[in-house]
Structure 1
Amino acid sequence: MITIVDESRNEILNANQQDLDAFQRDDRALFDRLVVDSAKVNGMIAAIRSVREQPDPIGQVRSSGVLGNGLRIENRTAPFGTILIIYESRPDVTIEAAMLAFKASNRILLKGGKEAVHTNQVLVNCWHRALAENGLTADWIQLFTLDRQATREFLKNPSQPVDLIVPRGGDRLINFVKEHARCAVLVSGRGNNFAYLAADADWEQVLPIIINAKTDKISACNALDKVLVDEETPGLAAKLRRLGAALRAKSVQLVAEESLLPLLEGAEPIAGESVWYEEFLAPKICFGWVAGVEKATRKINRYSGGHSAVILTVDKAKADVFMEQVDSAAVYHNASTRFTDGGAMGVGAELAISTDKLHHRGPLGLEQLVTNKYYVYGNGHIR
């Protein structure tokens, strides 16, 4: 597959240009995710290579032992069977999801968005060439090009067995899948990530962390959307003006609670409570007041998507309280939320970032694309 993708580089880029030409560029985040250039093809190849070199996750013994009655019991990792992933844009998912599922001995059904149909078709053709050259059938990796109605019908009455569905997108997609699916759904949920700036935060760290978390890649689910400022922060006015100016210099729109508007030049008032629930996927950030770490954690748990949250403080004990109390897949102390990513966390390529608690939260890498099975060995045992 590494060789085939490299040889097909021009075909991939030409197909992607077809998709880009047909795209209505009113959704910047979706457009950013759609773009494939030569560097992204290199990234696809690097991802394949990294997964190829990881150990086979299937048949690994999780526990073993012999009971008092002589029964020997092993618990081993096993494939799910068939995984359906539904995603928008992101042609690189067509590479990463398929390679992870395949190496974990799962079949995968790829339901990409119509905006990436030409790119996805070329990438799946590459997969089918690789499968054929190794004597394997094309049904290991299939591309679905169903419209919304056909997808709904497939979820309700699948024409083939499906063991796990992973919707990778916003609330609308997730709710659509959960409403109609007839099998297990593992949610790759929205971001809406929060930062809490404690009163003792080191503002020499605050500025680069907030700027990076917000602006490094606005279309990513690990981008920052909300900042909670502790009302006891000394010299807050000057600090916020400095942060606001740095964000405006990066063309970020500021919105804030009324009492913070005088401290953030050019900021607009928050339109309503619904803004706190919103994942922006845009150059936009929201500021609010909070009184202490407990109220910060309470507000984050109420409004966030359960993806990533960060506390900026020099007090480790305060950070420990925050990190234990915030109910998110990844919690940070003095670091950008942009690290919630399989590669950045040392997991390798990822299928998605799960915000579910069963069976796994965080990056879904190769080791997480397995279930388990008990192997029980007896010698005429009866109960």
Structure 2
Amino acid sequence: MSTVGTAAAQGDQLREQVHAAARRARHAAGELALATRETKDALLHAMADALVERTAEILTANERDVAAAREAGTPESMIDRLALTADRIVGVAEGLRTVAGLPDPVGEVVRGSVLPNGLRLQQVRVPLGVAGIVYEGRPNVTVDAAGLTLKSGNAVLLRGSSSAENSNTALVAVLADVLRSHGLPADSVQLVPCHDRASVRHLVTARGLVDVVIPRGGAGLISAVVEQATVPAIETGVGNCHVYVDADAELDTAVRVLVNSKARRTSVCNAAETVLVHRDIADRFVPVAVGELADAGVTVHGDQRFVELAGDSSYVVPAIDEDWDAEYLSSDLAAAVVDSLPEAIEHIATHGSGHTEAIVTTDVRSARQFTARVDAAAVNVNASTAFTDGGEFGMGAEIGISTQKLHARGPMGLPELTTTKWLTFGDGHLRP
């Protein structure tokens, strides 16, 4: 067989492998749709217990991934996303327990009425069916996605990155064992092959087998999924998040909010990537903020006015045009001095990604104008951008943070993993 023929055969084999997994998932979704809340909650608690009990084997698998990533020269900020610890596994397990404690959206009556002719109508929440999740080197997403999809009655196909293959395989093995022990199909949670990018294309074009795809990762991954998908896709956008320090900000509050937004964890999508400072407070704010950010190891890419106010600091460098659109996911921060609140809002409209934007101010009118005019999934007043998170919003783990405007926006929890169905109850009613 020619090289071309071999490649085509391998492509056909991979497509069938993905579609076969989707068919198994669709069958599993039918069984999950009948599971009671009691059954699903017991399942999630058992999964949490099993993850903690089998920490050693999970960490052994994760160590292989981390070692390979370091050998490949992967930046430490990305390795931080990949790495698991015993404490992180406990945190992931607690996320499952939190989800178990949340109300089950399946069967919830969204609205209902009785028509004049006596017909009773109900719009109720039902599972989406089969969800495909495409994500990068974050093995915690494997468990978060499984927990949320199972609680909402969905089966899930997980297409993680090859960099986390060992970790994801170990985690799914634990979850599958618990599913079997509870009499539910192990195919409710499956991994999709991760060594060939074509598997993503086969997943996101599997109309009739997959009901929705959700990408989680960088701009390139998200764009690739959204542009290729023929299956409905929920776009989870990149996080070019801003903190705007208003003229009437309280200085200490502004510094603390900025440092927490940027430095708490730099590799996550809700980390601040740009700070905008009103000129009336800039001479007092900039030197203090630069010192605190330097202590946290953050390099500031400032415009001319910011650099002049920063003084002599090795942690401040001149910004270039690309900095305003950058999602660094590292210890870097773009910074600019603006002349007004409208200028800050315009900057955010031009460069923001619609994820999370924050204002620090004591002026109620400024806060009202900012929250009304800034177009983002989350807008924070005197609070860190780090709060845009499903766990912080009381959703337990999140499936992602949607930056689109249809179906779901912001952190996506259980209700966002359902659709609705209309039920009509009659007594032999006929339409005239």
Q: Could you tell me the TM-score, scaled by structure 2's length?
A: 0.85
Structure 1 residues 159 and 139 mapped into 2: Cα distance closer, same or farther (>3 Å)? Answer: farther
- Given that 1:349 and 1:366 are in contact with CA atoms closer than 8 Å, whether structure 2 keeps it comes out as no
Give runs of aligned pairs for residues 196-275 of structure 1, distance below 5 A.
196-233=244-281, 236-264=282-310, 265-266=313-314, 267-272=316-321, 274-275=322-323
1:60 to 78, 83, 108: 108
The DSSP-based 3-state class of the residue aligned with 1:185 is coil
- Report how far residue 70 of structure 1 moved: 2.1
Q: Any idea what the Cα deviations from partners look like across 1:236-259, whole Å, max 9, x if unmatched?
A: 324311111111121111111122
- Report how far residue 56 of structure 1 moved: 1.8
1:170 to 211, 215, 218: 218
- Given that 1:25 and 1:31 are in contact with CA atoms closer than 8 Å, whether structure 2 keeps it comes out as no
Give runs of aligned pairs for residues 318-333 of structure 1, distance below 5 A.
318-333=366-381
Q: Aligned partners of 1:175, 1:291: CA distance in 2, in Å?
A: 34
- Given that 1:311 and 1:332 are in contact with CA atoms closer than 8 Å, whether structure 2 keeps it comes out as yes
2:117 to 33, 55, 69: 69
- 1:81 maps to which residue? 129
- Given that 1:155 and 1:177 are in contact with CA atoms closer than 8 Å, whether structure 2 keeps it comes out as no
Q: Does 1:180 align with 2:228?
A: yes
- 2:403 maps to which residue? 355
Q: Any idea what the Cα deviations from partners look like across 1:135-176, whole Å, max 9, x if unmatched?
A: 222221101123343224404643870111100011100110
The DSSP-based 3-state class of the residue aligned with 1:187 is coil
- Report how far residue 331 of structure 1 moved: 0.5
- 2:241 maps to which residue? 193
- Given that 2:64 and 2:166 are in contact with CA atoms closer than 8 Å, whether structure 1 keeps it comes out as yes
Instruction: Give 4+ residue runs of structure 1 displaced > 6 Å after superposition.
Output: none
Q: Aligned partners of 1:171, 1:132: CA distance in 2, in Å?
A: 37
- Given that 1:193 and 1:224 are in contact with CA atoms closer than 8 Å, whether structure 2 keeps it comes out as yes
- Report how far residue 196 of structure 1 moved: 0.9
Q: Could you tell me the TM-score, scaled by structure 1's length?
A: 0.96
Q: Aligned partners of 2:269, 2:204: CA distance in 1, in Å?
A: 28
> What is the number of residues matched between the two proteins?
380
Q: Which 10-residue stretch deviates more, 74-83 or 253-262?
A: 253-262
Q: Aligned partners of 2:61, 2:204: CA distance in 1, in Å?
A: 32
- 1:281 maps to which residue? 329
Q: Any idea what the Cα deviations from partners look like across 1:337-381, whole Å, max 9, x if unmatched?
A: 110111112222111111111111111112221111111122322
The DSSP-based 3-state class of the residue aligned with 1:194 is strand
Instruction: Quote the sequence identity (%).
Output: 35
- Given that 1:354 and 1:360 are in contact with CA atoms closer than 8 Å, whether structure 2 keeps it comes out as yes
Q: Which 10-residue stretch deviates more, 344-353 or 329-338?
A: 344-353
Q: Does 1:122 align with 2:173?
A: no
Q: Aligned partners of 2:104, 2:191: CA distance in 1, in Å?
A: 25
- 2:35 maps to which residue? none
1:15 to 56, 61, 68: 61
- 2:199 maps to which residue? 151
Q: Aligned partners of 1:29, 1:80: CA distance in 2, in Å?
A: 34
Q: Which 10-residue stretch deviates more, 371-380 or 88-97?
A: 371-380
Q: Which blocks of at least 5 consecutive residues in structure 1 are unaligned?
A: none
- Given that 2:159 and 2:200 are in contact with CA atoms closer than 8 Å, whether structure 1 keeps it comes out as no
2:390 to 342, 353, 360: 342
Question: Which of the pair is proportionally richer in helix?
Answer: 2
Q: Aligned partners of 1:271, 1:4: CA distance in 2, in Å?
A: 49
Q: Aligned partners of 2:246, 2:204: CA distance in 1, in Å?
A: 48
Q: Does 1:4 align with 2:57?
A: no
For the aligned residue pairs, the C-alpha RMSD in angstroms reads 1.5
Q: Aligned partners of 2:176, 2:259: CA distance in 1, in Å?
A: 42
Q: Aligned partners of 1:367, 1:146: CA distance in 2, in Å?
A: 29
The DSSP-based 3-state class of the residue aligned with 2:197 is helix
Question: What is the one-letter code of the residue matched to 1:13?
Answer: L
- 2:430 maps to which residue? 381
- Given that 1:240 and 1:263 are in contact with CA atoms closer than 8 Å, whether structure 2 keeps it comes out as yes
Question: What is the one-letter code of the residue matched to 1:269?
Answer: P
Q: Which 10-residue stretch deviates more, 1-10 or 79-88?
A: 1-10
Q: Aligned partners of 2:112, 2:269: CA distance in 1, in Å?
A: 39
- Given that 1:165 and 1:184 are in contact with CA atoms closer than 8 Å, whether structure 2 keeps it comes out as yes
- Report how far residue 2 of structure 1 moved: 2.4
Q: Aligned partners of 2:201, 2:376: CA distance in 1, in Å?
A: 33
Q: Which 10-residue stretch deviates more, 89-98 or 141-150?
A: 141-150
